[in-house]
Amino acid sequence: MLYRNAPHDWSDREVLLSRTIANHLASVTERTQAQQALHESSGRLASILRTVEEGITATNREGRLLFANDAAARTAGLDSADELAALSAEKRAALYEVFDPDGARVAPEDQPAAQALAGTESSAVVRIRPRSGGWERWLALRSTPVFAADGSVELVVNVTRDITQEVAARREAESSRARLALLLEATEQLTQTLDYEELLRRVPQLVVPRIADGCHVYIARGETELVRVAHAHVDPRIAA
């Protein structure tokens, strides 16, 4: 309040009113600055998340996609986050089927995102295949609930890591170790006897089930006769 060309003695009421207005204006200014800073911070965070290798999505309770980066889209077999965001929750769920490491189908309600929506952080290793076929990916999933002030789940953040190459490398290493173990055992078994028929009888036991479901060993007797000297099969009915 301004008084021109005249001195003014401020009353207690005027002083209180002036302070109240000043405090209110300061509070509004602080909130505006905080909102602007939060908006800028959110923008920077979104820019960072778009560049990471892990697929990241955020969905609300209704399944609406609030955020997705390009890595999440590529995991689903799409080209961009915009393409993923354009799909409804039902269409996103229909992109591919989900299986556990043993090949059993994982129902939607048993997947980490559904567990997080119920309030529990959840993780899993799964295999996904598009319903149209063509490829398979191994994924490490982690879904985390974000709670509102009243304790309800407000949104779910999903982090997806493509571990297909890691799984392939691990399986190749395991296969190499198994082949080496087989070679060592075969060397030991086959050098224990000089009887070639006994040697042949040991072969199926070495082969089944490590590298084959069944093995039959025959030797020639004369020019027209084959005699089976050893056999083994994973199915006892066939092995008998």
Q: What is the three-class DSSP state of 183?
A: helix
Q: Into which CATH architecture does domain 53-162 fall?
A: 2-Layer Sandwich (3.30)
User: Given a cut of 70, is residue 44 above it in pLDDT?
Assistant: no
User: Given a cut of 80, is residue 155 above it in pLDDT?
Assistant: yes
User: Given a cut of 90, is residue 118 above it in pLDDT?
Assistant: yes
Phi, psi values for residue 27, rounded to 5°? -65, -45
Q: What is the three-class DSSP state of 66?
A: strand
Q: What pTM did the predictor assign?
A: 0.60
Tens of pLDDT, residue by residue over 177-206, are 877 777 777 777 777 777 777 777 778 777
Residues contacting 129, CB < 8 A, separation 6+: 96, 97, 99, 135, 136
| Domain spans of the chain, in order of start | 12-49, 53-162, 177-239
- The whole-angstrom separation of Cα 73 and Cα 56 is 9
Please tell me which of 64-68, 115-119, 181-185, 223-227 the model is most confident about, judged by mean pLDDT: 115-119
* pLDDT (0 to 100) of residue 150: 92
* pLDDT (0 to 100) of residue 97: 93
- Region of 72 (left: φ > 0; alpha: ψ -120 to 50; beta: rest) is alpha
Number of residues that this document lists for the chain: 240
Mean pLDDT, residues 73-90 taken together: 89
